[in-house]
Amino acid sequence: MERTSEFKNIPEQRLYANILFYLNLIGLFILLTGFTLYLTGVITPLVPLEDLPRFWSLSLDEYIEKSNMPTGWQWISKIGYGDIAPMLGIAVLASVTFVCYFVLLFQFLKRGVKTLALIVSIELLLILLSASNLIQVTH
Amino acid sequence: MPLASSFFPFHIDFVRGTGLFIALGSSLAAAPHLLGKNLASIKLALPTALVASAFAVVGAFFGLWLSALNPAYIQGSLGVTIIGIVFIMLFAKDSEHPSVAGGNYLTQMLHIGGIYQEETTGKEVSWTVHNTGKGLFCFVFVGLLAGIFGLGAGWANMPILNMIMGAPVKVAVATSGLALSVTDSTAAWIYLNKGAVLPMITVPSLVGIMLGARIGSKLLPKVKPAAVRYIVISVLFLAGVRSLMKAFGY
């Protein structure tokens, strides 16, 4: 059981804030780099910029079918395309919480704070599950 | 997100994907500063975010399934939800320091509470919460709405944390953002994997909101919120009405 009193902030708070801050900066830098390469045309996109307005009003299924855009983790194999390159930054930002929680888990286990370690573990599993693209719903 | 879905030509699927990343980006950017000031509490965010994110996954799949059947279902229910938010914002009364009778079993088990320094008085404020079970149950709906509509749901987090669970208003606002960064991570991955994230829409919004949130988290304690509140309420009301009109083909 946790040893800190009810009114104390947990010591991991500062560590979490620092990791979050630096990962945000890294993610933002990767995102902006990818997007600049896309906008400036340094890398050719899968869907040309001038054709994009024809696609963004389509439903998701129609868009995927007509644009040949990757789903799941297939974007990694197409990272060389301009409109896919910003996905790396987006994925980094979507992973920030996972990394922070992973560090929290180790800190809680080291301190023997079992209840919070359990909550963090379940959350990590949830994020992993949604990121894995293993859950599929058909319609 | 309500503005983009109501006034721009993008399909609701892309708007929801972008909406989740906007919410995620703003909460990620504001959280370090608020955690450093001890206003955002990890102990309070952990259980609330866990419940909300579990149901955000369910909501994300349900939302994508529903819009594949007919996008008007999502557009219409989004309009109703936005107008509902307007009424919550109009009539919800926050309490700066709610009186908390004493933590219940869940509160004590999770040791939810903390201390922060109130900048306006310089005094240290100790706080804890009550009604933890009820509060966690409410986060089921927060998660569902976040997943279905790609909404940040900070408008719902704050009243639950403040009015139901009794967290001081500043702690409620800051922790709401931290919890959002967790909740939206799970749902955002689902939209990303489904291909519902268009960089041309998402990246500029994400960069803008992250820079804005960083500045906002520093300005917030000094800004009088009343005027901002009424501007937000008016714009949201228009977006809600427009969303409903779109659902009915106008």
Tell me whether residue B216 is exposed, middle or buried, using C-beta atoms within 10 angstroms of its C-beta: 0 to 12, 13 to 18, 19 or more. middle
**Distance, CA of B188 to CA of A57 (rounded, Å):** 20
Nearest CA in chain A to B8: A57
pLDDT at A17: 94
Nearest CA in chain A to B54: A126
Contacts of A13 (CB under 8 A, 6+ apart): B35, B38, B41, B42
pLDDT at A105: 96
Query: From the centroid of its chain, how far is CA A91?
Result: 4
**Distance, CA of B5 to CA of B151 (rounded, Å):** 11
Extents of the domains making up chain A:
12-132
What is the helix (H) or strand (E) element at residue B124, kind and residue range?
A: strand B124-128
pLDDT at A1: 40
Dihedral angle computed from the Cα positions of residues A90, A92, A96 and A98, in that order, rounded to the nearest 10 degrees: 110
Phi, psi of A37, deg, nearest 5: -60, -35
Among candidates B21, B38, B111 on the partner chain, residue whose Cβ is nearest the Cβ of A6: B111
pLDDT at B72: 80
> Per-residue b/e over A34-54, b at no fewer than 16 CB within 10 Å?
bbeebbeeeeebebeeeebee
pLDDT at B1: 59
Which chain B positions have a beta carbon within 8 Å of A123's beta carbon?
46, 49-50, 53, 182
pLDDT at A3: 41
pLDDT for residue A100 is more than 90: yes
Among candidates A31, A58, A120 on the partner chain, residue whose Cβ is nearest the Cβ of B203: A31
Nearest CA in chain A to B208: A28
Model pLDDT for residues B138-196, shown as the tens digit of each residue: 999 888 888 887 766 676 788 888 888 888 888 888 898 899 899 888 888 988 998 88
Residue A64 · residue B11 · CB < 8 Å = no
- Highest mean pLDDT range out of A3-12, A37-46, B61-70? A37-46
Cβ of B213 under 8 Å from any chain A Cβ?
A: no
Which chain A positions have a beta carbon within 8 Å of B126's beta carbon?
7
pLDDT at B228: 59
Phi, psi of B249, deg, nearest 5: 85, 15
DSSP per residue, A7-54: TSPPTHHHHHHHHHHHHHHHHHHHHHHHHHHHHTTSS--SS-GGGHHH
Cα maximum dimension of chain A: 60
**Distance, CA of B244 to CA of B221 (rounded, Å):** 35
Cβ of B103 under 8 Å from any chain A Cβ?
A: yes
pLDDT for residue B93 is more than 50: yes
Which chain B positions have a beta carbon within 8 Å of A71's beta carbon?
193-195
**Contact call for B11 and A63, based on CB within 8 A:** yes
Contacts of B122 (CB under 8 A, 6+ apart): none
Residue A112 sits at the vertex; the CA angle it makes with A110 and A113, to the nearest 5 degrees, is: 115
Cβ of B50 under 8 Å from any chain A Cβ?
A: yes
CB pairs under 8 A between A and B: 192
Contacts of B95 (CB under 8 A, 6+ apart): B162, B163, B169
pLDDT at B5: 57
DSSP 8-state symbol, B116: E
Look at the pTM and tell me if it is higher than 0.90: no
What is the ipTM for the molecules in this complex? Answer: 0.88
With pLDDT > 90 as the criterion, what percentage of chain B qualifies? 13
pLDDT for residue B96 is more than 70: no
**Contact call for A94 and B189, based on CB within 8 A:** yes
